[in-house]
Structure 1
Amino acid sequence: MCRNTAMLWPFLRLRSPPRNSLPECRCSSAKLGTRQLTRWYKDRDFMMEILKAAAGLVAQFGSPLYAYDGELIEAAFRCFRDAFAYRPAEYHYAIVCNKNHYIVRLLYSLGAGIHANTPGDAYSALRAGVPGDRILYSGTNLNAADFDWLLAHGVQMNLDSLDQLRDLAARRPSMGVGLRLLIDDERSGNRIGVTTAELPPALEICRTAGIRLTGLHMYAGTNTLRAGRFLECFERLLESALKLPDLEYVDVGGGFGVAYDEGKESFPITEFGAEIGRRLEQLSAACGRRIRLLLEPGRILVAAAGCLLTTVVSVKIRGGRRYVGVDTTVGNVVVESVYHAHHKIEAACPRGPVLPLPTDVCGNTTHSRDFIARSCQLPDVAPGDLLVLRDVGAYGYAMSSHFLNRPRPAEVVLYHGETHLTTRRETFEDLLATQLICEGS
């Protein structure tokens, strides 16, 4: 862990509470109804703070600009946590969807651990001040250097193959470890995880090496909206979990979905939490001890809390269609034209009603797929106006790149009336920062 983390983040000095000593929720789950978690926090007034401050934020930090609402993230975590009455339970934020250190530290202060998909994810969490024993790695195909680094930093692991189990046995016999179980039968060719048929040889490897197989991990899919899908997988996970003599936990994984499109329902977390709790009580009774429940929420905590502010630079109308050019690109944000992700876009300060004119919002490169939004509805806009791309708190900046050679935007977090610059705007120098350039060549 970085010893100087506190120096890096003087604006957010947060203490980590004990694992089972979490803050009280300020929002009753009863207010939410049973299927409304994400809709509830998407419709709160929190995002209005960013919309009201949009012009000032851009004036201070430039455009384009990622802005996140810390209070919204806090509320989402509390409501997610309170949907699960079963104890003991641990919530490991899936840092892959947004590794902004301010957000990571905020969630850690609320009691969250971190789920790492790669050693790089774990490194980001460590630099944010999260200790290794609060980081859970669940990934695939670690090489020798990866293994040694994770072990040196005390990171917990869920492995996904017999070979990886043997690799661990050679390095750290007697260690406790989890396995990702492949129980997803909806997609053929799924490469990640140990099949149920491989579980007996996995147990034999552990017995021979003295490793304790202490947990099973599952993954029901990306951005899943159906609780039934999770519960089907969970039922199969429990059947296998009963075969582990050293069972300490079951990990439901992540993938709790957010409905980006109007009219769709996000993941019904309240009903799911109640059903998971009932089944965990049965498992604990069968094992004769309390089995820990692990969850890996990511998108559901941060998606609605982030927006991308971008400035209109040109407007063209031709063939009955309007093309609004802005100062950002699909290299800065993954959108529908690239990743089939639909995000609402609106004017920060609308001039009037929506115009009945099909509108494409176009990025600032000539790439044929550089469309921030297609066939959207916007009011009259002109150069200098600000547009807001909503619900990009997850897999927005995290999936941005230097493709098209546009430097990436800055990031700010609004929290309790204060604005914190958490990522500086990139420059052209950053595009070549890792290249070894010979002058005059």
Structure 2
Amino acid sequence: MSKKVIDSVDVDRLLAIAEKWGTPTYVYVEDMIRDRCRKLVNLFSGLPVSWLYAVKANDNPFLLEIISEEQLGFDTVSYEEVLLCRKLGVPAENIFYTENNMTDEEMHGAAREGVVLNFGSLGRLRSYCEQYPGSSCSVRIKPDISDGHHAKVDTGNEDSKFGIRMDLLPEAVALARQHDVSITGIHAHIGSGITEPENLLNEIDILLHAAKGVDSLKFINFGGGLPIPYRSGEEEFALDQFASLAKERLETFLEESGGGISFLFEPGRWIVGPAGVLLTRVNTVKDQGRKKFLGTDTGFNHLLRPALYDSWHEIVNISAAKTAKEEKYNVAGNICESGDILGTDRIMPETRTGDCLAILDAGAYGMTMASHYNRRALPAEILITTKGFHKVIRRRSSADETVDRFLKETGYPVDA
């Protein structure tokens, strides 16, 4: 399952996409997304396990439609994501909304939609219980387990802003009972792109133990944040081995509890990350003495992860022959910031102006974190369908369209 877009799609096809629709352009492969969804759905056969796709990883509606067709639900973290799923026809019961510093307006809107509300603070839980007596909800707890590919995405540690402290869970249960609110679910999430499977197994143990103190429970959501290998030679998350160890725990819990409880996991980037690539064109080759730079037509306004998390994405020159002389380059973006570096010390064939680069494993947390910084347009998005067609799933705006839209949104008067 460690296959990347560059392994699944002929390079000539990627070059044809870049030639026809220009760059920068995100390209996704439908077959890869469906295959990865099916791998998860079949992982815990015989057990009441479901999967929730993290909308924040990639929220293009065409991709959400594919994932919904593969029988996954949706993990949402904003009211806007809830509305997006609902407007795509996703049933409310298939949407799990984990709030983070939620407003009253967002709470009321989500309650009207009928989605599963997951509260991570006693204050918000109290507000909900007081205004929606007789209803049901889920609570997020803080398991005090530290993991994630970067400190900024470590969500389960002792000092995390997320979740209700474990020692306050009885207080949350009592608060809900006081207002005849049923806590039907408990949830935790230790980090995005977790590095140690043992930490996720330990979190499962903690939640299964905590479940014994919630008598109205119907489901347990273990979160997830499954990692993907970004570097060549990097070991892939041992999914089958993890599932085998987790399955033993879940089966034991069901036997001891008498059943009636289902389980949820949130795979995060695992589904779409490897299935996407960002194509960009080299428009500058610059020798600065100690370093050689490849200047591209994209930047951290389109792929923020390297600048925000010091993340590594493989970068491949798909225009150059593999036999060409190799050079060491820093790949730079076109944003007016010194930190706009997409890759450092990359060995690749001698590269020329006009060559097309493919930035791999960009399907997750690429487009959803993109911005109009420097007032630049967003990339186009192309889907390679199961039938082999190229489908435009987001059109690129021209510079004029981008600026005109901005002026219109601000309400600034512009002469016709």
Q: 1:258 to 1:367 in 2, by over 3 A?
A: same
Match of 2:125 in 1: 165
* Structure 2 Cα separation of the partners of residues 101 and 185 of structure 1: 33
The number of residues matched between the two structures is 400
Letter in 2 for 1:429: D
Deviation (angstroms), 1:52 = 2.5
* Structure 2 Cα separation of the partners of residues 320 and 354 of structure 1: 22
Match of 1:263 in 2: 233
Deviation (angstroms), 1:306 = 0.5
Superposition pairs for residues 351-390 of structure 1, below 5 Å?
351-353=321-323, 355-390=325-360
Deviation (angstroms), 1:141 = 1.8
Letter in 2 for 1:126: R
SS of 2:105's equivalent?
helix
Deviation (angstroms), 1:366 = 2.9
Unpaired stretches in structure 2, ≥5 consecutive residues: 147-156
SS of 2:102's equivalent?
coil
**Which stretches of structure 1, 4 residues or more, deviate above 6 A after TM superposition?**
none
- Show CA shifts across 1:140-170 (max 9, x none): 2211100111011111111111222222212
* Structure 1 Cα separation of the partners of residues 352 and 362 of structure 2: 24
1:302 to 268, 272, 280: 272
- Show CA shifts across 1:23-67 (max 9, x none): xxxxxxxxxxxxxx4x2x338842x24x33123212332211111
Moved more, 235-244 or 365-374: 365-374
SS of 1:170's equivalent?
helix
* Structure 2 Cα separation of the partners of residues 312 and 185 of structure 1: 43
**Contact 2:300/2:306 (CA < 8 Å) preserved in 1?**
no
* Structure 2 Cα separation of the partners of residues 353 and 174 of structure 1: 69
- Show CA shifts across 1:321-367 (max 9, x none): 32111111111112423321100001123234364432011212331
TM-score, reference length from structure 1: 0.86
* Structure 1 Cα separation of the partners of residues 293 and 324 of structure 2: 15
Residues 1:60 and 2:20 aligned together: yes
Unpaired stretches in structure 1, ≥5 consecutive residues: 1-36
1:350 to 320, 327, 333: 320
Moved more, 54-63 or 395-404: 54-63
Residues 1:147 and 2:117 aligned together: no
Residues 1:407 and 2:377 aligned together: yes
Deviation (angstroms), 1:438 = 3.2
**Contact 2:50/2:263 (CA < 8 Å) preserved in 1?**
yes
**Contact 1:313/1:325 (CA < 8 Å) preserved in 2?**
yes
Q: 1:145 to 1:373 in 2, by over 3 A?
A: same
**Contact 2:301/2:335 (CA < 8 Å) preserved in 1?**
no
SS of 1:378's equivalent?
strand
Deviation (angstroms), 1:394 = 0.4
Match of 2:4 in 1: 42
Residues 1:125 and 2:89 aligned together: no
Deviation (angstroms), 1:124 = 2.0
Sequence identity (%)? 26
Q: 1:225 to 1:375 in 2, by over 3 A?
A: same
1:194 to 164, 169, 174: 164
RMSD (Å) for aligned C-alpha atoms: 1.8
Deviation (angstroms), 1:385 = 1.6
Residues 1:228 and 2:203 aligned together: no
**Contact 1:90/1:295 (CA < 8 Å) preserved in 2?**
yes
- Show CA shifts across 1:290-337 (max 9, x none): 320111112011111111111111212342532111111111112423
Deviation (angstroms), 1:86 = 4.5
**Contact 2:5/2:29 (CA < 8 Å) preserved in 1?**
no
Deviation (angstroms), 1:91 = 1.0
Match of 2:245 in 1: 275
**Contact 2:27/2:381 (CA < 8 Å) preserved in 1?**
yes
TM-score, reference length from structure 2: 0.91
Letter in 1 for 2:389: E
Letter in 2 for 1:383: T
Deviation (angstroms), 1:235 = 0.9
Moved more, 107-116 or 123-132: 123-132
Residues 1:438 and 2:398 aligned together: no
**Contact 2:278/2:360 (CA < 8 Å) preserved in 1?**
yes
- Show CA shifts across 1:188-226 (max 9, x none): 421211112111111111111111111110112121031
Match of 1:424 in 2: 395
**Contact 1:66/1:309 (CA < 8 Å) preserved in 2?**
yes
* Structure 2 Cα separation of the partners of residues 305 and 102 of structure 1: 14
SS of 1:377's equivalent?
strand
Q: 1:43 to 1:190 in 2, by over 3 A?
A: same
Match of 1:12 in 2: none
SS of 1:313's equivalent?
strand
Residues 1:246 and 2:216 aligned together: yes
* Structure 1 Cα separation of the partners of residues 407 and 263 of structure 2: 44
Deviation (angstroms), 1:236 = 1.1
**Contact 2:54/2:266 (CA < 8 Å) preserved in 1?**
yes
Letter in 2 for 1:395: Y
SS of 2:272's equivalent?
helix
**Contact 1:184/1:219 (CA < 8 Å) preserved in 2?**
no
Deviation (angstroms), 1:117 = 1.0
- Show CA shifts across 1:256-295 (max 9, x none): 1112123322322111112222111121122212320111
2:50 to 62, 67, 90: 90
- Show CA shifts across 1:228-273 (max 9, x none): 0101111111111011111111101121111212332232211111
SS of 2:223's equivalent?
coil
SS of 1:253's equivalent?
strand
* Structure 2 Cα separation of the partners of residues 245 and 270 of structure 1: 32
Residues 1:107 and 2:77 aligned together: no
**Contact 1:335/1:373 (CA < 8 Å) preserved in 2?**
no
* Structure 2 Cα separation of the partners of residues 349 and 321 of structure 1: 22
